[in-house]
Every structure is written in C-alpha cells, then in structure tokens.
Chain A
Amino acid sequence: MRSLFLRDIRLSIRAGGGALIGVIFFLAVIATIPFGVGPDLNLLSRIGPAILWIAALLACLLGLDRLFQADREDGSLDLLVLNSDRHMLALTVLTKCLAHWAGSVLPLVIAAPLLGLFMNMEPLGIGATAFTLLVGTPAITFIGAAGAAVAVALPRGGLLISVLVLPLTIPVLIFGVSASYGAVADPAPFLQPFLILAALTLFLAVVGPLAAALALRHGTD
C-alpha cells in the first residue's frame, strides 16, 4: 500500500502529472473574482471564504477524472483489481485517494492563505478557511473517487464526473463555508459546523472508496 501511495505521488509530480494544474486554476479563479465583483474591499472580505471554498472545490474536481482512467488506459487497473485478495480493493482505492489528495489537493490548501490576501480577508478568517479546507477537501476526493470509478470507461468522462459529483459535495461546501464564517462573524458558531465537516470527511472516507471499489469491480471489460 505504501508503494502504491509513493508511486501515485511520484506520478503526480513528474511530467504530465498535473499536480500544479489545480493550483494554477485556483489562482486564476481567485484572481478573476475582484475584477468581476469590483474593488469593494468590504464586500470582497465578506465573500472571501465562500469564494475560496468554491474555487477550491472546482479545482479539486479538475484532476479527478484521471484518478482511475490513467490506470485503466495502461492496464494497471486490471492488476490492481486482480490483487484484490491481497489488498482489499476499497483500501487500494483509499490509498489512491490519499495520494491524489496529497499530490493535487494539498497544494491548494497550502496556496489558500496566499490567495486569501487577494480577497482582503483578515488573518483569522484566512486561517479558519485554510483549516476547514484542510479538513473538508479529503471528503471531496472520496466522493470524487466514486464518480471517477463510475465514469472510468468513458473516454471523455471528466465533465460527467463533475456533474455527478458536484451535487454530492454541496453538504461539504455548506459546512465548510459556515465554519469559516463562524470563526470570524461573532454570533455564528464555529465548532458545530466544523465538527459536522469532520464527520462528513470520516463518513465519506468509508463510503466513497467502498462505492468506488464496487464500481471498478463491475466496470472491468
């Protein structure tokens, strides 16, 4: 399992891996927002956490279609499925999700504080948003894995995955954003939405890989 994790991390940073594509997309979206919304600093800092979360969500979805498709195209997926007696397929999927998260999504979380400055957010808000992203984005990857497994056989499944996965990520988005606001705006609570966000991530860490494994097992042809 460790070898699979290391292989996927290596692939994501080597040429064509696309680890930085997500960060660049994230940067592009955030940098465009002030031009569209206008230079109202109060407004920008108020919508900052929500914009960061939405942009991060979209950037997460960007690389998901390659999660299993790359392995399918070169035949590795067959061998991963074939070895499911030694390594439970759901655990294999979980490992691939964690590697994808660490390789492609963690850079987004690291870049988020910097991009928060673009939105004129105060330090506490930036910290809270980055922290909720850290806790919440794995959930997006886990849901995305199920979507990617369903669409693995489709040649241009990228958009389909986004359409399949976006509705399911709405709860993560809602609780992520409300926890980020809770940290800044006083009457709103931080802890409750944050705990629900953490629970979502844990719940989806089990359900997502199981669903993806089921789809992969029946999707081989």
Chain B
Amino acid sequence: MRLIAENLSGERGGETVFSGIGFALERGEALVVTGPNGAGKSTLLRVVAGLLPAAEGIVKVEGGGDEFPSVASASHYLGHLNAMKTALSVEENLGFWRAFQGEAGLSVGQALETVGLDGLGHLPFGYLSTGQRRRASIAKLLVSRRPVWLLDEPTAGLDKASEERFAGLMEGHCREGGIIVAATHLPLGLEGAKALQMKVAG
C-alpha cells in the first residue's frame, strides 16, 4: 500500500501554517518531519490523520484493501497526549484500546513486555512517571495492527535505552511493510528514512 499526500496546506486559526507539502511513501518507508517550533509539524500530522481539515490538497492511501480503505482507518496516531485514563490501570487502558480499535495485534502482556513495562500493568496509569506513560502509550501502537504510524514527538520524555528500544520497534514496523510519518526534533535513529524539513511560514 502507499500513503500519498499531494500539495497539502494547513491552517491554524485562519492563518496558513504550511503549504505545498507533498510526499509519497511506499510500504516499509519512513518519513521524518523536522523543523523549528511553530513550523506546523503537529498540524501536518493532524491533517494527514484527518483530524484537521486540509486547507488544500488531499491525503489518501492506495491499496489498503477492505481492511484499511481510508487514511484514518489505516493509521495509528500518537499525539502529544497519551490518550490513557489516569484512574484505570495500564492493563485496563490497553485492553480497552485493543478491543475498541480492532485488528488485534500483540496481547496486552506482550506489548507491555516489548516496551519494558512488564510487571507494572496492574498500576493505575496515573502512578507512572512521564517516560513510563509514554512507553505505555507506545504499547498502544502494538496492541492493534495499523500499517501507518503517525507519530508526533514520540520520544518526548523517554530515556536513552527506551529511545533505542523504540527505534528498534519502528524499524521492525517498517520491515514488516509498515509506513511511518514521525515529527520530531530529536534524532529518532531511523536509518534510510526520508526527510522533510519544514520552515516557519512568512
């Protein structure tokens, strides 16, 4: 399958943040979006996910089949926020997203082990540290299958070892034919990724 964006422009509060952005990613390819604060990296990801309307241009997936007909249905979106409930345990949170998002991937236990949180699943999410929360949120990418990962500052708050582990996860995802679009200003350790440099408009 392919993820294609043509001539995208995005707006925030009526002001154009970026324009004329296009890319096409094949299976197994990754795109790293870099740029200074305010360049529109997050806005670009939200436009690609379909959470914000594009001011111009289109985003589409080709060859997703019946399972993943649209970008939204084919994508995991990992934003700044972790989308986990502090009052529920880590296992309950992940179990919910696994059941709700469908296309079950790893089991909750396996996913927690993969991100190095095994043994902490019974704790309320609110008890975890910032880095642990992020790792639990990354485990959310693993419990249900999506070919496209849209990652917004995925490594914010992670320590060195977790960053490396996450780089390994992303490489594994690409090797299995997945597509990654990641916005970051920290090096992600993704080899062979395409790069997109964004500038502050105006």
Interface centre among B69, B80, B88 (most CB of A within 10 A): B88
In angstroms, Cα B81 to Cα A89, docked, is: 21
* 8 Å CB contact of B85 from A76, A84, A86: A76
Interface centre among B75, B80, B96 (most CB of A within 10 A): B96
In the complex, chain A residues 1-26 whose Cβ is within 8 Å of any chain B Cβ: 1-4, 6-7, 10-11, 14-17
Question: Do B83 and A78 touch (CB < 8 A)?
Answer: yes
Question: Do A3 and B96 touch (CB < 8 A)?
Answer: yes
Question: Do B77 and A78 touch (CB < 8 A)?
Answer: yes
Instruction: Give the dominant DSSP class at A's interface.
Output: helix
Tell me which of B21-29, B48-56, B161-169 binds A.
B48-56
In the complex, chain B residues 50-82 whose Cβ is within 8 Å of any chain A Cβ: 50-52, 69-70, 72-73, 75, 77, 79-82
1/0 contact string of B73-105 vs chain A (CB within 8 Å): 101010111111111100010011101111000
Residues of B contacting A11 in the complex (Cβ-Cβ under 8 angstroms): 85, 87-88
Question: Do A83 and B101 touch (CB < 8 A)?
Answer: yes
Residues of B contacting A84 in the complex (Cβ-Cβ under 8 angstroms): 72
Question: Do B99 and A3 touch (CB < 8 A)?
Answer: yes
Question: Do B95 and A74 touch (CB < 8 A)?
Answer: no
Question: Distance (Å) between the CB of B14 and the closest chain A CB?
Answer: 12
Question: Do A10 and B92 touch (CB < 8 A)?
Answer: yes
Question: Do A4 and B96 touch (CB < 8 A)?
Answer: yes
In the complex, what residue of chain B is closest to A76 when comparing beta carbons? B83
Interface residues on A, range: 20 to 34
Interface residues on B, range: 20 to 34
In the complex, what residue of chain B is closest to A85 when comparing beta carbons? B73
Residues of B contacting A4 in the complex (Cβ-Cβ under 8 angstroms): 96, 100
* 8 Å CB contact of B77 from A1, A79, A86: A79
1/0 contact string of B21-51 vs chain A (CB within 8 Å): 0000000000000000000000000100111
* 8 Å CB contact of A75 from B69, B70, B80: B80
Question: Do B77 and A82 touch (CB < 8 A)?
Answer: yes
Question: Distance (Å) between the CB of A193 and the closest chain B CB?
Answer: 39
Question: Do B87 and A82 touch (CB < 8 A)?
Answer: no
Question: Do A75 and B50 touch (CB < 8 A)?
Answer: no
Using CB atoms and an 8 Å cutoff, list the residues of chain A in contact with chain B: 1-4, 6-7, 10-11, 14-17, 73-76, 78-79, 81-87, 220-221
Known: A7-B85, A79-B77. 5 other contacts (CB 8 A): A1-B100, A10-B88, A11-B85, A15-B87, A82-B51
